[in-house]
Amino acid sequence: MMASNIATAEAGGYPEQQPQNNWWVAKYSSWLASMGAVALGFVGLLAIAFNIITFSLTSAIAGGLQVVAAAIILAVEGSSVVSFLTFAKPVGLFFEGKPLYVKTTVYGALTIIPMLLGPSGMAVMLGFIISAAITALYGMILIGRKGDIEDMRAAAEAQPKI
């Protein structure tokens, strides 16, 4: 297995990362991220509307960045959930062949960038929480599922007692 990953990496490709399909996080991650992106888009639009009314330019820009982040997440995840999003297929295919940490890093950057302008509104903070949850979802998949009870018990017994 290791030799095939090295050969794939030397050929310019990436080793396959297949999440465990029986784990609910890996199974429903694309759907959950798409629904989170829709919620993030609505919250971003709400932040723009409230902050234009209150003349808070930095919060309106942060809300706009959250709408852009929602569009990017929908372009990446939406094509696998909803088949009629044909415009998003190339973006989804671009991320499909990449290692999972690339997608997690992009989602993390999309979470942090609007907050660099300052958490000045409740809608911006709610959007941050939604975006951070999407990033945490893919972080959980990247780290992987913990072992079953027998493996955990064997690992605990193997450690020396102090």
- Is residue 2, in this structure, part of any structural domain at all? no
In a domain, 61, yes or no: yes
Please, are residues 9 and 98 in contact by the beta-carbon 8 Å criterion? no
Q: Indicate the number of domains in the chain.
A: 1
- Mean pLDDT, to the nearest integer, of 111-139? 85
- Residue 109 in any domain: the answer is yes
Angle, helices 57-81 vs 89-96, to 10°: value is 80
| Single pTM value for the model | 0.70
Looking at residue 62, its amino acid is: A
For residue 157, being part of any structural domain is answered with: no
Q: State the Cα torsion 87-90-93-94 to the nearest 10°.
A: -130
5 part of a folded domain:
no
Q: State residue 109's pLDDT score.
A: 92
pLDDT digits (tens, 9 = 90+) for 85-98: 677 777 777 888 78
Closest CA to 56 of 44, 47, 68: 47
Q: What is the mean pLDDT of residues 136-151?
A: 82
Would you tell me how many other CB atoms lie within 10 Å of the CB of residue 61?
Answer: 16
pLDDT tens per residue across span 67-123? 888 888 888 887 666 666 677 777 777 888 788 888 889 989 988 988 888 767 788
Domain assignment present for residue 40? The answer is: yes
Classify residue 36: in a domain, yes or no.
yes
In DSSP notation, 6-23 reads HHHHHTT--------TTS
Assess contact for 93 and 124: CB atoms under 8 A: no
Contact 97, 14 (CB under 8 A): yes
Is there a domain that residue 17 lies in?
no
Domain that holds residue 87: 31-145
Asked if 100 contacts 17 with a C-beta cutoff of 8 angstroms, the reply is yes
